[in-house]
Amino acid sequence: MSAIYAAMDALLPFEWASYTFMKNALLAMLLITPLFGVLGTMAVDNKMAFFSDALGHSALTGIALGVVLGVSNQQASMLVFGIAWALLITRIKQRNTASADTIISVFSSTSVALGLVILARGGAFAKYSGYLVGDILAVTPQDLLALAVALAGTLLVWAYVFNPLLLTSVNASLAGSRGVRARAVEYVFVVLVAVTVMLSIRWVGMLLINSLLILPAAASRNVAKNAAWYIRLSVAFALFSGVAGLLGSYYLNTSAGAAVVLVAAAIYFITLPLRRK
């Protein structure tokens, strides 16, 4: 870690870079944003914006369950709950019993309410309100390691599941006729999204995390000419928003997560008129 800090000191002779918390926050942005840029493309293509939003909200229940069960590591209980939640919703969605958005909405509101009831008992909710907006300046080297592992793992899995996922997003029966196990592919994808969301929610915040997933991909599809550029630009927009938002928040002394999302939104609106017909 000290080698990385030393390199950053040499490369970034700025006032903000002299603080360790800013160095950590910058590193966190460089790890989190590509994850969201990559996963966002297929989340948008599969019309999962609402799903990922609800997934973020379910983090609250994950924390609450951790508290009830006495799990000291909230991250772990959130992660387990998030994955289980994502798999459950996907399973129900695949059974096609009612319209997907209704199902997601029912689960989402139930899980938020359950989380609030448990966490707010005895007036203790203030302790957890940080999850709502997130605080990237609190990232520790240990968290950075977890994020780095998540990024490496996601890219590796992404190399295998992208083609099947693309086919499935066009037509599941067609994918099936070509030997793609469409359901399994969908499960892998939602688990990736769940892990990414749950690992980043403490830094980005429950209210904003979905924008970080959707905005860079949405901006990218305004200008990308094919699938490869779709992902590349999405990652580039996410990275730029992350770094610009972090520095902007430092100089304006405001919330980093919100500033990141505003930059991403600005990119979206700038690219909107360039939209390909």
Partner 1 sequence: MSEQTTHASCGLCRIEVEGLSVVRDGQTLLHDVGLHVHCGELTALIGTNGAGKTTLIRALLGEIPFTGTVRHLTQDGKPAAAVRTGYVPQQLEFDHSSPVTVMDFMTASLSRRAVWLGVSKRARREALEALSRTDCERLSDRRLGALSGGELQRVLLALALRPQPDLLILDEPVSGVDQNGLESFYQTVAALRAHNHMAVLLVSHDLDVVRRYADHVVLMQGTVLCQGRPKEVFESPEFGQVFYARGNEA
- Which positions touch partner 1 (CB under 8 A)? 44-47, 158-160, 162-164, 166-167, 169-171, 173-174, 176-178, 220-221, 224-232, 276-277
Kindly state the smallest distance separating residue 228's Cβ from partner 1, in Å: 5
Nearer to partner 1, 123 or 225 (CB): 225
User: CA-CA distance, 42 to 103, in Å (whole number)?
Assistant: 21
Kindly state the smallest distance separating residue 237's Cβ from partner 1, in Å: 14
Nearer to partner 1, 70 or 276 (CB): 276
Nearer to partner 1, 133 or 157 (CB): 157
Classify burial at 8, counting beta carbons within 10 Å of its beta carbon; exposed 0-12, middle 13-18, buried 19 or more.
Answer: middle
DSSP assignment letter at 127 = G
User: Which whole-number Å values give the CA distances from 14 to 11, 19, 177, in the listed order?
Assistant: 9, 10, 56
Classify burial at 70, counting beta carbons within 10 Å of its beta carbon; exposed 0-12, middle 13-18, buried 19 or more.
Answer: exposed
154 touches 196 (CB < 8 A)? yes
Kindly state the smallest distance separating residue 187's Cβ from partner 1, in Å: 17
Kindly state the smallest distance separating residue 103's Cβ from partner 1, in Å: 18
Kindly state the smallest distance separating residue 219's Cβ from partner 1, in Å: 12
User: Which whole-number Å values give the CA distances from 30 to 183, 256, 263, in the listed order?
Assistant: 31, 14, 15
Nearer to partner 1, 45 or 135 (CB): 45
Nearer to partner 1, 26 or 218 (CB): 218
